[in-house]
């Protein structure tokens, strides 16, 4: 039984390694965005700057003012096991301060900042550039904060 479980864990880790396929120079991402991320300590930075391509599956306005985008990534190596299980195999993308937050703490993080990131539509094929992180609360990998989004198709 232990061999079967061990083999299963190994297969899952190989299939969902949670590694960026592209590492860009840090100068390609806007480091100033981190000044407006609510609770940045909950995010473990894997790569300060990367790009990921994929199809937009859903858009969701979170109470903290961020726009959450679920992306079906072209290259699945960016996903980890938590993405596969809890995020339906999608990569979470977060455009910070996209709308007015519901509470004062999040509103303070967004004070004086207006996002200039272009918002995609569902089914758009995009390239998103930003910091590649693991959210310590959910365990899944994300691009957060997003520096830019380019619509490819």
Confidence of residue 55 (pLDDT cuts 50, 70, 90): very high
Domain count, the chain: 1
- Please report the sign of the dihedral spanned by the C-alpha atoms of residue 101, residue 37, residue 42, residue 127: positive
Query: Two tokens at 58?
Result: 């859903």
- Where in the sequence is the domain holding 140, given as residue range(s)? 2-151
Residues pairing with 127 in the sheet? 53, 150
The 10s digit of each residue's pLDDT in 1-16 is 666 555 555 555 555 6
Give φ, ψ of 39 to 5 degrees.
Answer: 50, 60
Q: Kindly indicate the confidence band of residue 146, based on its pLDDT and cuts at 50, 70 and 90.
A: very high
pLDDT at 20: 77
Tell me the CATH number at 77: 2.40.50
The 8-class DSSP code of residue 49 comes to E
Span 51-66, average pLDDT: 96
- Nearest C-alpha neighbor of 23 from the set 51, 4, 1, 55: 51
pTM confidence score = 0.88
């Amino acid at each position: 039984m232990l061999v079967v479980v061990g083999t299963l864990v190994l297969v899952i880790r190989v299939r969902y390694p949670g590694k960026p396929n592209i590492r860009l120079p840090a100068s390609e991402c806007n480091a100033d965005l981190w000044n407006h991320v609510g609770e940045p300590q909950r995010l473990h930075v894997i790569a300060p700057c990367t790009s990921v391509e994929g199809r937009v599956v859903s858009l969701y306005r979170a109470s903290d003012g961020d726009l959450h985008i679920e992306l079906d990534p072209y290259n699945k190596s960016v996903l980890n096991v938590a993405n596969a299980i809890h995020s339906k195999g999608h990569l979470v993308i977060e455009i910070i301060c996209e709308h007015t937050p519901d509470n004062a703490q999040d509103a303070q993080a967004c004070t004086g900042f207006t996002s200039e990131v272009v918002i995609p539509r569902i089914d758009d094929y995009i390239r998103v550039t930003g910091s590649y992180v693991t959210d310590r609360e959910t365990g899944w990998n994300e691009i957060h904060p997003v520096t830019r989004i380019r619509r490819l198709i």
